[in-house]
Amino acid sequence: MTNPQELIDKIKDIPAMPNVIVKALGIIKDDQSGTKELGEIMAYDQALTSQVLKLVNSAYYGFAQEITSVSKALALLGMSQTKNIIITVAMKPMLTSHGGKEMWKHSLRCAIACEMLAEKIDLADSGDAFTMGFLHDIGKILLNICDPVSYNRVRDMVKYGTDIIESENEVFHTNHAELGFLLAKKWKLSVMLANCIKYHHDPMSSSMPEVATLVYLANALSHDEPDIYDEELVKEQLGLETHDVMSYRDEILEKANSLFATLNAG
Ligand SMILES: [Fe+2]
Ligand SMILES: [Fe+2]
């Protein structure tokens, strides 16, 4: 492997799906024109629309009446929630086919964790919190698409205790945080999203340490066995005490399980 940019350029078979995501993420403001625009994007993709409506009508959201159109969903859920649903549904095939069930589960948990933690700490700019968590490990997908055999080697090294970034650097001469950042730039995601992806394993190197620490913590909490994390850092950047964090983790897992059940049904 030569350099990360070449690795990204080599990957031609990233599905058309990112188009929807890029467009959905581009509509940031929760205003009239954004709502109309999102409705229009969805009108071009009937398969995606029907999956989104299925999710919106599931027990997870618990609406009494049936929601039959994206514009109705937008009116009831708001722009930010609808955007999250679109991203989740649109990304599922890519995450599951190249990252397996584990990656899908971890990404969704981390998305919910980011959203919940952002709410708990009253993060000023929290609209993209779900997406930050959902896409934080997207670089792993690239490494896996590029060379699944080598990525299995990385998995083995991690299993035997080597740090993931170290393992990837050794095998690929780059790592999923760096590659995810390059992909985020290629997809024209926001600066904050790209930054969080790049620094989710090293938040203090970020120019946005608060949000980077948020994703760092959410990631640690989103494994079956929670990772050990820097409690001092979390307290300093987010003002969260360890006993609170652990009770939030229970809430996160419960919410995630309910969402998995919905997304896996049918
Ligand atoms: Fe990661
Ligand atoms: Fe992760």
Helices 18-26, 70-120: crossing angle, 10 deg rounding: 70
Point out the least confidently predicted range of 5-9, 36-40, 120-124, 164-168.
5-9
Give distance in angstroms: CA of 106 to centre of ligand 2: 7
* pLDDT on residue 73: 84
User: In this structure, are residues 259 and 112 in contact, taking their beta carbons and an 8 Å threshold?
Assistant: yes
How far apart, in whole angstroms, are the C-alpha atoms of residue 157 and residue 195? 27
How far apart, in whole angstroms, are the C-alpha atoms of residue 214 and residue 237? 8
Q: Kindly list the distances between the CA atom of residue 58 and the CA atoms of 78, 128, 223, in Å, as whole numbers in the listed order.
A: 17, 23, 25
Q: Kindly list the distances between the CA atom of residue 135 and the CA atoms of 18, 181, 218, in Å, as whole numbers in the listed order.
A: 12, 10, 12
- C-alpha 212: how far from its chain's center? 13
* pLDDT on residue 102: 87
Domains of the chain: which residue ranges? 4-264
Give distance in angstroms: CA of 76 to centre of ligand 2: 31
Point out the least confidently predicted range of 37-51, 141-155, 187-201.
37-51
Give distance in angstroms: CA of 137 to centre of ligand 2: 5
User: In this structure, are residues 85 and 63 in contact, taking their beta carbons and an 8 Å threshold?
Assistant: no
Q: Span 232-259, mean pLDDT?
A: 93
* pLDDT on residue 25: 66
Q: Span 62-72, mean pLDDT?
A: 86
- Asked if residue 29 has pLDDT above 60, the reply is no
* pLDDT on residue 95: 84
Query: Distance between terminal CA atoms of the chain?
Result: 39
Query: Quick one: 4-264 is in which CATH superfamily?
Result: Hypothetical protein af1432 (1.10.3210.10)
- Which ligand has its closest atom nearest to the C-alpha of 133? 2
Q: How many CB atoms lie within 10 A of CB 4?
A: 19
Average pLDDT of the residues of the chain: 85
Q: Span 200-229, mean pLDDT?
A: 95
Most confident of 27-36, 39-48, 70-79, 195-204: 195-204
Q: What are phi and psi of 264, to 5 degrees?
A: -85, -15
Give distance in angstroms: CA of 164 to centre of ligand 2: 10
Q: Span 112-127, mean pLDDT?
A: 89
- Which ligand has its closest atom nearest to the C-alpha of 110? 2
Give distance in angstroms: CA of 252 to centre of ligand 1: 18
Give distance in angstroms: CA of 17 to centre of ligand 1: 22
- Asked if residue 15 has pLDDT above 80, the reply is no
Point out the least confidently predicted range of 1-10, 159-168, 220-229.
1-10
- Asked if residue 232 has pLDDT above 90, the reply is yes
Q: Span 238-263, mean pLDDT?
A: 90
* pLDDT on residue 16: 43
Give distance in angstroms: CA of 198 to centre of ligand 1: 9
With vertex at residue 78, the alpha carbon angle to CA 117 and CA 105, rounded to the nearest 5 degrees, is 45
Helices 191-199, 209-221: crossing angle, 10 deg rounding: 50
User: In this structure, are residues 229 and 201 in contact, taking their beta carbons and an 8 Å threshold?
Assistant: no
Residue 42 or 108, more confident: 108
Question: 10: pLDDT confidence band, cut at 50, 70 and 90?
Answer: low
How far apart, in whole angstroms, are the C-alpha atoms of residue 133 and residue 144? 19
Question: What percent of the chain has pLDDT above 70?
Answer: 88
- Which ligand has its closest atom nearest to the C-alpha of 220? 2
Give distance in angstroms: CA of 141 to centre of ligand 2: 12
How far apart, in whole angstroms, are the C-alpha atoms of residue 228 and residue 163? 12
Q: Span 226-233, mean pLDDT?
A: 93
Helices 138-146, 70-120: crossing angle, 10 deg rounding: 110
With vertex at residue 265, the alpha carbon angle to CA 259 and CA 266, rounded to the nearest 5 degrees, is 135
Give distance in angstroms: CA of 107 to centre of ligand 1: 10
Residue (of 197, 232, 228) closest to 215 by Cα position: 197
- Asked if residue 223 has pLDDT above 80, the reply is yes
Give distance in angstroms: CA of 156 to centre of ligand 1: 16
Point out the least confidently predicted range of 14-28, 76-90, 187-201, 214-228.
14-28
